[in-house]
Structure 1
Amino acid sequence: MPWSLATFNVNGVRARLPLLLDWLKKASPEVACLQETKVVDEDFPADAFTELGYHAYFHGQKSFNGVAILTRQEAAEVVQGLEPGDGGQARVLAVRLATGWVVNLYVPQGREVGHEAWHYKLEFLDQVARMLPRRFNPKEPVIVTGDMNVAPTDLDVYDPKRMAGKVSCHPDERAALERIEAWGLTDLFRQHHPEAKQFTFWDYRLPQSFKRDLGWRIDLILATAPLAEACGECLVDTEPRGLPKPSDHTPVLAKFA
């Protein structure tokens, strides 16, 4: 049975709700992973997604961070947070479905190289790398997805020379992401589009960044071999970024046989 999975940093699920609901109606993914929901659990708009036929699982906090997973099928297991803990920041949510595990991440942005937030980012990525072999098996179907806040290579940023050594392009961040992938994960977009210069994030602070395509590819769908082999396509849907009152990110969608 064909199915699809999306990742989308919505930058506020309540602020983006009409746009998100319209997109879900059009794309109709079986699984949708959201980041930066920016809402406490008791205020998460679960009913709006239930009306579209989704089960909603969420892990949030007030005004910052927050992750959610919307699924057509009920999850057999739900896990919140990192092990042994994520410092009270709602950044990790995992669900076990009939199609396998889905791990949704909102990786810290890191502010600037050398800042304590940047060191926390590196530690967070290392915690993820340590968590994967403890909890999962790379020979089984597992997806690790979300806003990784790391551009994997120079191909994934609009101006590699300007961004060299800076946050989201720093060698230490890329190495940390590579350690996660080395456990047994494939970047599905790159699997299908090895040379494409395609972005998923355009900073609000850069004038007309979307129109000028000054972006980063930092929203990733990583999969173990069983799902990478079953993936027929992985694409970036830029349409929502061009709509009124958009998120600064846009959805990524993977399709499986």
Structure 2
Amino acid sequence: MRIATYNVNGVNGRLPVLLRWLNLAEPDIVCLQELKAPQDKFPEKPIRDLGYDVVWHGQSRWNGVALLSRIGEIHETRRGLPGDPEDVQSRYLEAAIGGVLVAGLYLPNGNPRPGPKFDFKLRWFERLHQHMAGLVALDAPVIVAGDYNVMPTDLDVYVPDRWRDDALFAPEVKQAYFRILDQGWTDALRHMHPDETIYTFWKYLRFAFERNAGLRIDHLLLNPVAARRLIAAEVDRRPRGWEKTSDHAPVWVELSD
């Protein structure tokens, strides 16, 4: 089973890229982020035409997450992160798919720091911490995947000193990420590539992708049941080199049967 996460940076504007990648890579389950489309404007038909079941949580112009499956029906279990009834942003979607509980998330960016957006990011991280504490010990494989908007270590960012003041690299944010790992989650990509410089995002400016001046901000976290089945984790850099593409690349894990 191959499960991927992909921040598409606008699902309608990047639809040809997304469909091309789905045809090429044939992932079994996909978590999409940053749809930037209201609920009624999601391109359901072309995705279903490729053989995928799909559920989505849209929002006009911003945010938005979706789950795709070509291995069976999606049984949605949660829409939105619990803990703040006033939070109406479309950033979390969770479902049971093919015997795996899959959650797709788009964590707040948090810039500028300091400020209300950064405070919201830390509160969102705390709510995520509390929710994932109830998922980690489930007697079933669980994967929480998406754009976490955090570079956990210096190895995850090109020229770390340039990012010290950024909300994605703030000490409080990195600490929040490792607090979640301490519950028993496995960072799949780093687990399989412990010492490699490996990125998932490259800015559009100054030939960042060509120079491999990137960030690792897209993560797939596995609970112990899923981690025991982990056999591969990679970044699919191919779509990042295509025209009119997202500034992120898909990241995927493979689980044994």
Q: TM-score, normalised by structure 2?
A: 0.95
**Number of residues paired by the alignment?**
254
**Counterpart in the other structure of 1:246:** 245
How much does 1:87 deviate?
A: 1.2
**Counterpart in the other structure of 2:230:** 231
Determine helix, strand or coil for the equivalent of 1:209: helix
1:162 partner letter: R
- What is the correspondence of 1:181-196 to structure 2 with a 5 Å cutoff? 181-196=181-196
Q: Is the Cα contact below 8 Å between 1:60 and 1:66 reproduced in 2?
A: yes
**Counterpart in the other structure of 1:215:** 214
Determine helix, strand or coil for the equivalent of 2:231: strand
Determine helix, strand or coil for the equivalent of 1:220: strand
1:125 aligns with 2:125: yes
**Counterpart in the other structure of 1:170:** 170
1:49 aligns with 2:47: yes
Stretches of structure 2 lacking an aligned partner (at least 5 in a row):
none
1:74 aligns with 2:98: no
**Counterpart in the other structure of 2:82:** 83
Deviations 1:167-196 (A, max 9, x none): 211110001111122222101011110011
Identity of aligned residues (%): 39
Moved more, 214-223 or 95-104: 95-104
* Cα distance in 2 for residues equivalent to 1:15 and 1:46: 14
- What is the correspondence of 1:137-148 to structure 2 with a 5 Å cutoff? 137-148=137-148
2:63 partner letter: N
**Counterpart in the other structure of 2:116:** 116
Determine helix, strand or coil for the equivalent of 2:133: helix
* Cα distance in 2 for residues equivalent to 1:115 and 1:213: 31
**Counterpart in the other structure of 1:29:** 27
* Cα distance in 2 for residues equivalent to 1:148 and 1:208: 24
Deviations 1:42-68 (A, max 9, x none): 111111111111111100110100000
Determine helix, strand or coil for the equivalent of 2:234: strand
**Counterpart in the other structure of 1:8:** 6
How much does 1:209 deviate?
A: 1.1
* Cα distance in 1 for residues equivalent to 2:171 and 2:42: 36
Q: TM-score, normalised by structure 1?
A: 0.95
Deviations 1:10-68 (A, max 9, x none): 00000111111111111111101000001111111111111111111100110100000
* Cα distance in 2 for residues equivalent to 1:136 and 1:223: 8
1:61 partner letter: Q
2:69 partner letter: T
Q: Is the Cα contact below 8 Å between 2:106 and 2:147 reproduced in 1?
A: yes
When residues 163 and 17 of structure 1 are mapped into structure 2, their CA distance, relative to the original with a 3 A threshold, is same
* Cα distance in 2 for residues equivalent to 1:211 and 1:86: 42
Structure 1: 4+ residue segments shifted above 3 A: none
Q: Is the Cα contact below 8 Å between 2:63 and 2:91 reproduced in 1?
A: yes
Deviations 1:203-234 (A, max 9, x none): 22x32111111110000011011211211110
Q: Is the Cα contact below 8 Å between 2:34 and 2:65 reproduced in 1?
A: yes
Superposition RMSD in Å: 1.3
How much does 1:81 deviate?
A: 0.1
Determine helix, strand or coil for the equivalent of 1:210: helix
* Cα distance in 2 for residues equivalent to 1:240 and 1:54: 19
Q: Is the Cα contact below 8 Å between 1:139 and 1:225 reproduced in 2?
A: no
1:176 partner letter: A
2:151 partner letter: A
Q: Is the Cα contact below 8 Å between 1:199 and 1:215 reproduced in 2?
A: yes
Determine helix, strand or coil for the equivalent of 1:50: helix
Q: Is the Cα contact below 8 Å between 1:138 and 1:184 reproduced in 2?
A: no
